[in-house]
A and B are shown apart, each in its own frame.
Chain A
């Protein structure tokens, strides 16, 4: 095994960039699962849909990031409808816990996968933009622009969402519904409407995050399976529903994965997120910043 400090430095640097990106793709789940307690295992599948959306619009020469923004309203609506349906069929009947809710979202995830396979085939797809493929050279170091762009957008997105949830009225209402639904109802607010809004926001983040994903690496329909591990790992690591924790947790995952990749090779790297997740659940299930 070849080891040097330059190599380690490079791995950590890559990990930092990758970590910002992981935080961004996990933000939606942090709202849907962390705050609202919905067992949304189909969330990563919607992330991949976001990537394919950017790929499709890319066919008309639209930049992936622009497509991400364009698709956000569509995803917002889809998220609202999905939550409404979930609420009507499970939560309002009190049958969301246990097998049903999980089985529902798992089934949805698989339907999305197969539909993507039918529509786009099993081959990898990638996006085209000026910043994809080029690298920034700093001495011996080469940093791919696509990682830099994704990390930059991810950082902005994380900051914006964190501010939204701690400063604005709607954001705080969403946090409140996650903490104590009953109290909110007593204050005369409608928790279902707020949750629906939150779910819409969580899903719309996926449009942009999906665009970032296809900038960072080519995508394929079954990729959501790996991202189930990565996103749930970040959310659990951060502590359920902690927005600022999400960034730190993303960085932890990114750096760990990048170091493992450098030292042991790609075949171990995908297991890192799942290993961290298991370790965290076994040792400290409330997460790094959990209450």
Chain B
């Protein structure tokens, strides 16, 4: 119950902010932070709960973005429909990658997911309809609901998506799926032997995780009014989607949220005040520091501090 009250007030706050006269840049940057929440939460369902590291985040983001683009070009579909289609296709991609590689050990799964990124990128590069290597410039539709600008509407919509992603992650964690996935992470052989349907659970996790990553990517064409393969299939998405849950803590649905809020905000500040290259460096360094010194993330640190102070 507490979860829903907090979620509802977060969304009300987002809407109120979007209706207020706040600076436009706030929404431009806020969208990125909220997108990071969706990315991190989506990644964590497979990576954190089951321990399968997906490096192919840009592939899923790209499928989301280019599905949305195709929907826009073909039928000038409304934004919500674009996002749903992006989620469905990215979820299917998740199942496909899972079917092909989940019988393999972890590292092979991870390497395969990188492969998916480059193969999808090559397909888009060679598709004239999707803009090829040069990309496509878009004009945003005029409908902005009752907001002042399209960016404001996207911001509110991403807030909705973040809440949906978090509630899915929370549900999965508490359900039998989450229990099974944790068993897979701790020892897949033991889980198999005790009758946990490991392959089925992993495929479910792949589908949900993939769909959420697709959701994070789907609004990108409208957000930038421009799509182009190099930045869409950029491995930066993979580092941030990996770094944020690890920084926050991978075992709980709150971890990715904490990591995304910390890292997303920090990134925005560093990009504005220093440079965008340094902002990637910050992500890399924080990732390595946490993996080495605090593998359970901020949540783990807080727990440790609580038990030691008792």
User: A residues bordering B, Cβ < 8 Å?
Assistant: 33, 39, 41, 89, 95, 97-100, 102-104, 106-108, 110-111, 113-115, 117-118, 225-226, 228-229, 232, 236, 267-268, 270-271, 274-275, 277-278, 281-282, 285
Contact = CB atoms under 8 A, between A and B. Distances in A.
- Chain B, interface size category, equals 35 or more
Top 3 nearest A-B pairs (CB, nearest first) are A271-B122, A274-B115, A107-B287
Contact of B53 (A103, A118, A228, A267): A103
Nearest to B111: A232
A99 B250 contact: yes
Interface string B263-298: 000000000000001101101110110011001000
A229 B239 contact: no
Contacts of B22: none
B126 interface: yes
Contacts of A98: 51, 53, 106, 185
A99 B184 CA distance: 13
A180 B116 CA distance: 33
A111 B115 CA distance: 21
B100 A281 contact: yes
Contact of A278 (B112, B122, B123, B283): B112
Contacts, number: 122
Contact of B239 (A110, A118, A232, A236): A110
B118 A103 contact: no
Contacts of B116: 274, 278
B284 A226 contact: no
Contact of B288 (A95, A107, A271, A281): A107
Contact of A103 (B125, B185, B291): B291
B292 A226 contact: no
Contacts of A95: 295
B53 A282 contact: no
Contact of A277 (B47, B115, B235, B283): B115
B106 A285 contact: no
Interface in B93-142: 100-101, 104, 106-108, 110-112, 114-116, 118-119, 121-123, 125-126, 133
Given A97-B106, A118-B277, A271-B119, 19 more contacts: A39-B106, A95-B295, A99-B47, A99-B246, A99-B250, A102-B55, A102-B106, A102-B110, A108-B288, A111-B288, A114-B277, A114-B278, A225-B118, A232-B111, A236-B111, A278-B115, A278-B116, A282-B100, A285-B104
A111 B284 contact: yes
A115 B283 CA distance: 13
B48 interface: yes
Contacts of B278: 114
Contacts of A114: 277-278, 280-281, 284
Contact of A268 (B47, B55, B107, B122): B122
Given A100-B295, A267-B133, A277 B112 contact: yes
Contact of B287 (A39, A103, A117): A103
Nearest to B121: A271
A102 B281 CA distance: 18
Contacts of B101: 278, 281-282
A110 B280 contact: yes
A98 B51 CA distance: 5
A127 to B, nearest CB: 25
22 contacts: A39-B110, A102-B53, A102-B110, A103-B246, A106-B53, A106-B239, A107-B239, A107-B284, A107-B287, A107-B288, A110-B287, A111-B284, A114-B281, A114-B284, A225-B114, A229-B114, A232-B111, A236-B108, A271-B118, A274-B118, A281-B104, A282-B100
